[in-house]
Amino acid sequence: MSGPLDGVLVVDLSRVVAGPHATQTLGDLGARVIKVEQPGGDDTRGWGPPFAGGVSTYYLSANRNKESVVLDLKDPAGLAALLRLVRRADVLVENFRTGVMDRLGLGFERLLELNPRLVVMSVTGFGHDGPEGGRPGYDAIVQGEAGLMSVTGPPGVPSKAGMTVADMLAAQNVVAGVLAALYERERSGRGQVVRTSLLASVVGAHGFQGTRWTVAREVPESLGNDHPSLAPYGTFRCADGSLQLGVANQAIWRRFAPVVGLDPGDPRYAEVPDRARRRAELAGEIEKALAGETRAVWLARFAEAGVPAGAVRSLDEVYDWEQTRSQGLVVTVDHPELGEIELPGPALRFDGHRAEHRPPPLLGEHTGSVLAWLDELDELDELDEREGAEE
């Protein structure tokens, strides 16, 4: 792999989504990622349907650009092989429950003794300490506990997001933490332990919903597709479907209103707070206008007027969309069992680096080659030591 992290070795002990998605991103950036799996493999290898040719599409979503090594960490030989990897690694990512690493003989102090330059990234569900530290935390559980469900969905119906938002936010924080620790290592010469959790990642993303409570003491509630502070800002029906509108300021309102036959100076809707208070009344007038034409017609009119608007697409439409593909958001890989397949692509692009992606590995596909590589490195080290002693 070519990329900004070329030469960085990541040992990936994580499984399921948050950790694997983060290490996939590090692989996208050019790092060499060795995925260490217990016998039986990552949980998601068995998550389905759907399966493609017996391969879980869930697993395929978070494991490209990696090598798979199977090691039984409860067996002395498997643990010894992992420790050999640790000595060579720049980064180790794990998302075991608190205490598991210690029981495996992989406590963080031990890891940093073996490799003082190692960056250890630890991901948990609810944090490693505190009164509920160590709780298991899958994405759906944390979406509820961290308040995301309370502000999602139709009014009064707490709803889970349709994607693993807690996992994905945590993955982004993992990548940020790893990159910051690697940067600091350039100055200090030493690695460190960095921690995040699904809980921290969702609460850290509350944004304006959080300050509604912490500052204004207003408990946010779900409003469906509406925005609590802005209107019109949400989903509106046309003659043949729905579209999204984002009238976020006065300038856009003045451009938007005439397009749908409204007076921008109407005192009922004159300012942002006025429109928010009368959102239902305003939405009724807008949908009455939109009912007369198709979505395509209205999107063209809004685009001409400089009003932010968009289609509500299904995922098949998203991946067929020319704009999606133009941004490198679909990548093609040659899977050893499935042949040529398409995967969702990375969110970052770097001028000067043309990424070529590798398929998610089969279970244990690289165990032999990685162990042979470690043997070669050990032999070279022994040779260097002998030559140094002779001098």
Q: What is the pLDDT of residues 127-186, one digit of tens each?
A: 999 999 989 999 999 999 999 999 999 999 999 999 999 999 999 999 999 999 999 999
DSSP letter at 43? G
Q: Which amino acid is at 316?
A: D
Cα–Cα separations (whole angstroms), residue 98 to 108, 143, 245: 11, 20, 44
How much is the average pLDDT of 71-96? 97
How much is the average pLDDT of 319-348? 96
Question: Does 1 score more than 60 pLDDT?
Answer: no
The residues, ordered by sequence, that sit 6+ positions from 385 with a Cβ below 8 Å of its Cβ are none
Question: What are the strands, taking DSSP E only, across the chain?
Answer: 9-12, 32-37, 51-52, 55-56, 67-70, 91-94, 119-124, 193-197, 233-237, 242-246, 309-311, 330-335, 339-344
Q: Which amino acid is at 40?
A: G
Closest CA to 189 of 91, 120, 117: 117
Distance between CA atoms of 56 and 41, rounded to whole angstroms? 12
Question: Please, is 151 exposed, middle or buried when counting C-beta atoms within 10 Å of its C-beta (0-12, 13-18, 19+)?
Answer: middle
- Residue 312's SS3 state is coil
Please answer whether residues 252 and 275 qualify as being in contact, where contact means their C-beta atoms are separated by less than 8 angstroms: no
Which residue is catalytic, options 167, 266, 316, 384? Answer: 167
pLDDT tens per residue, range 235-288:
999 999 899 999 999 999 999 999 999 999 999 999 999 999 999 999 999 999
Distance between CA atoms of 138 and 125, rounded to whole angstroms? 7
Report the Cα 79 to chain-centroid distance in Å.
29
Annotation says 167 is catalytic: yes
Name the pLDDT band for 6 (thresholds 50, 70, 90).
Answer: very high
Question: Does 391 score more than 80 pLDDT?
Answer: no
Question: Does 385 score more than 90 pLDDT?
Answer: no
The residues, ordered by sequence, that sit 6+ positions from 224 with a Cβ below 8 Å of its Cβ are 153, 154, 155, 234, 235
Distance between CA atoms of 348 and 273, rounded to whole angstroms? 37
Among all chains, which residue has been given the structure tokens 């509350």?
206
Among all chains, which residue has been given the structure tokens 């990552």?
42
How much is the average pLDDT of 184-210? 98
The overall average pLDDT reported for the chain is 95
- Residue 342's SS3 state is strand
Please answer whether residues 79 and 111 qualify as being in contact, where contact means their C-beta atoms are separated by less than 8 angstroms: no
Q: Which domains does the chain have, with CATH numbers?
A: 9-206+320-382 (3.40.50.10540), 233-312 (3.30.1540.10)
Which residues in 291-330 are b (16+ Cβ under 10 Å) and which e?
Answer: eeeebeebbeebeebebebeeeeeeeeeeeeeebeeeebb
How much is the average pLDDT of 277-303? 96
